[in-house]
């Protein structure tokens, strides 16, 4: 059986017009470099890095329905780095300080609710799509990724 590598780029994604593409990153390139530099015998960050790269692709192409689902995937993926089974456990029991704990609790609650709304709302007579501001969890997500870098150094 032949296997193929699939690479999605912005040129593969249809957008409404060229002026709608954001040049910003959802996950900062420097944070991605820091994560790539983490060498852990215990954890392979390949999937985490790919989630972050795909979040950036979605953000740049304004694929606002996909972003919360990918953020949720990150939250479900990383708890073992903090010796936790779930992200809620991480958010409630982390020892990284009160500010980090509060940010993770907020990230857990808001991103999951928005992802659930997008994933589980059935077709309706009328619909309004979320804007980028509704799916903007960049600050808290960066705090999480920063803490992963710190823990795995």
Query: What pLDDT is recorded for position 98?
Result: 86
Residue with tokens 């808001």: 110
- Mean pLDDT on 128-139: 95
What is the percent of the chain where pLDDT is above 90?
A: 78
Q: What share of the chain is helix, strand, coil (3-state, %, to 5)?
A: 60, 0, 40
What DSSP string describes 67-133?
HHHHHHHHHHHSGGGGT-SSHHHHHHH--S-HHHHHHHHHHHHHHHHHHHHHHHPPP-SS--PPPGG
**Residue 11 predicted with pLDDT over 90:** no
Residue with tokens 């040049």: 23
Which residues fall within 8 angstroms of residue 13, CB to CB, at 6 or more apart?
57, 61, 63
Query: What pLDDT is recorded for position 55?
Result: 98
Asked whether the beta carbons of 69 and 118 are under 8 A apart, the reply is yes
The Cα–Cα gap between 1 and 25 comes to: 36
**Residue 147 predicted with pLDDT over 70:** yes
Provide the mean pLDDT of the chain: 89
- pLDDT tens digits, residue range 49-67? 999 999 999 999 999 999 9
**Residue 128 predicted with pLDDT over 80:** yes
Query: What pLDDT is recorded for position 34?
Result: 98
Which residues fall within 8 angstroms of residue 137, CB to CB, at 6 or more apart?
68, 71, 107, 110, 111
Query: What pLDDT is recorded for position 10?
Result: 56
């Amino acid at each position: 059986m032949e296997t193929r590598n699939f690479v999605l780029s912005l040129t593969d994604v249809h957008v409404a017009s060229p002026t709608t593409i954001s040049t910003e990153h959802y996950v900062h390139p420097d944070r991605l470099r820091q994560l790539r530099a983490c060498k852990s015998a215990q954890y392979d960050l390949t999937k985490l890095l790919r989630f972050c790269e795909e979040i950036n692709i979605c953000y740049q192409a304004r694929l606002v329905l996909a972003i919360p689902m990918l953020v949720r995937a990150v939250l479900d993926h990383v708890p073992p780095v903090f010796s936790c089974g779930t992200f809620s456990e991480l958010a409630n029991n982390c020892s990284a300080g009160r500010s980090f704990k509060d940010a993770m609790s907020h990230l857990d609650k808001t991103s999951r609710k928005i992802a659930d709304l997008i994933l589980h709302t059935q077709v309706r007579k009328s619909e309004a799509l979320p804007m980028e501001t509704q799916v903007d969890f960049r600050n808290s997500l960066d705090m999480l990724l920063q803490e992963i870098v710190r823990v795995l150094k």
